[in-house]
Amino acid sequence: MLKPNMHYAELRDSYLFARIGAKIKDYQKEHPEARLYRLGIGDVTRPLCPAVIAALHEAVDDQGSFDRFHGYMPECGAPFLREAIASHYAARGVALSADEVFVSGGASDELGDITDLFAHPCRALMTDPTYPAYMDASVMAGREVTRLPAGEENGFLPLPDESAEADLIYLCSPNNPTGAVYDRERLKIWVDYANRRGAVILFDAAYEAFIEDSTLPHSIFEIEGARSCAIEICSLSKTAGFTGTRLGYTVIPRELVRDGMCLRDMWVRNRTTKTNGISYILQKGGAAVFTEEGQRQIFDNIRVYRENARVLTETFDRLGAWYIGGKNAPYVWVKCPAGMDSWSFFDLLLREIGVIGTPGEGFGASGEGYFRFSTFGSPEDTREAASRLERLLKQYY
């Protein structure tokens, strides 16, 4: 008799966004005419930039041509894209070999797959609040999970607790959901801690393109010592609007060795066994992001989202609300007014002003009492939502 993976039975039943979806559906049934302002889920709204569209069309034409048709791609990524990504890091002062760069179908997919490199019974450490998929993937693998509480006292940027036993450390900076960003000094403390323990940091850099402050690190490999303790997982989803197009990349340095096994070499073996590479078409589109023209165009989009963030943070400044994020990050993490819990705040905003955000409690117990606003909506909706928030909330803060 085949035994299923019974760890799936330990997963919490309901998923944050499913619960939000159900609440919205109920509300729309009662108020079919209501206009909603969605600052909830972190999906982008602006189309792919022209340089990417042109490269995708060209690649599609290649796939329709006898002479230029591409069959199986190299499993770890097309050399043209691995090299473009390595050059992108080099321009930022991080030296990588192109064969330490792996092309992926996106950061979520990679976060799901990559933990196959680690023995199952290991201790995973993640912050609280955190992106729910880290937790669920760890539960599915039967890992023991420790949550490190984040809060106002540490600016939602917790540092390692020397008493906590951790083998696998999830860090996300700029953070989802809080928008908090580790500076070099604090990230160095994590790197040193991981090296001392022989732990491995899975560094989720999906939001790095939103960093404006030049003193903040975009990559963990800007920190000395990271090459022997970190894997960086990145994505074009937020950088270049690829949420529905799909493409990401992962960096595993050769110095990352545990028990004599080189994790980069293990990942090559994993990819050559468990994939047949990433779509040629998508890789050509992705390579266009790293051209001069592509970089200029993606930042035209990012600037729109940054302007949304400015509209929201200025609103919360005027309200006198406590918040972080919105600077160097596409999320604004706001303290709910008047001691309100985050689901009550969700209900209030939905019912009174048709604004949708994400309750902090959905990201972990330490998120209770906080609320996430995404800046990926349209400028018009964001401005309207901000003015509605200001009108409603001035009585609360």
Q: Looking at beta carbons only, is 105 or 369 nearer to a copy of itself?
A: 105
Alpha-carbon span 101 to 248, nearest angstrom: 10
Alpha-carbon span 374 to 207, nearest angstrom: 12
Judged by CB under 8 A, the residue of 39, 76, 96, 122 near a copy of itself is 122
Residue span binding a copy of itself (CB under 8 A) among the ranges 49-57, 87-95, 146-154, 303-311: 49-57
Decide: is 186 part of the binding site for a copy of itself (CB under 8 A).
no
| Contact criterion met (CB below 8 Å) for 128 and 146 | no
Which residue in 316, 322, 321 sits closest to 153, CA to CA?
A: 322
Judged by CB under 8 A, the residue of 10, 61, 161, 212 near a copy of itself is 61
Judged by CB under 8 A, the residue of 23, 46, 310, 383 near a copy of itself is 46
Residue span binding a copy of itself (CB under 8 A) among the ranges 25-33, 80-88, 175-183, 238-246: 238-246
Decide: is 197 part of the binding site for a copy of itself (CB under 8 A).
yes
Q: What are phi and psi of 212, to 5 degrees?
A: -110, -35
Residue span binding a copy of itself (CB under 8 A) among the ranges 132-140, 312-320, 322-330, 349-357: 132-140
Tokens of 387: 């003015």
Q: Looking at beta carbons only, is 242 or 345 nearer to a copy of itself?
A: 242
Alpha-carbon span 110 to 82, nearest angstrom: 16
Cis before 174? omega within 30? yes
Rounded (5°) CA angle 218-214-159: 55
Decide: is 50 part of the binding site for a copy of itself (CB under 8 A).
yes
Rounded (5°) CA angle 372-107-308: 35
107-114 helix and 263-274 helix, angle to the nearest 10 degrees = 110
Q: Looking at beta carbons only, is 103 or 353 nearer to a copy of itself?
A: 103
Residues in the chain, how many? 397
Decide: is 19 part of the binding site for a copy of itself (CB under 8 A).
no
Residue span binding a copy of itself (CB under 8 A) among the ranges 95-103, 130-138, 310-318, 345-353: 130-138
3-state secondary structure at position 171: strand
Alpha-carbon span 318 to 76, nearest angstrom: 49
Q: Looking at beta carbons only, is 194 or 334 nearer to a copy of itself?
A: 194
Tokens of 30: 């009662």
Q: Looking at beta carbons only, is 135 or 353 nearer to a copy of itself?
A: 135
Q: How far is the CB of 338 from a copy of itself (least distance, A)?
A: 34
Judged by CB under 8 A, the residue of 30, 33, 72, 380 near a copy of itself is 72
Residues 258-277 touching a copy of itself, rule: CB under 8 A, are 258-259, 261, 263, 266, 269-270, 272-277
Q: How far is the CB of 195 from a copy of itself (least distance, A)?
A: 11
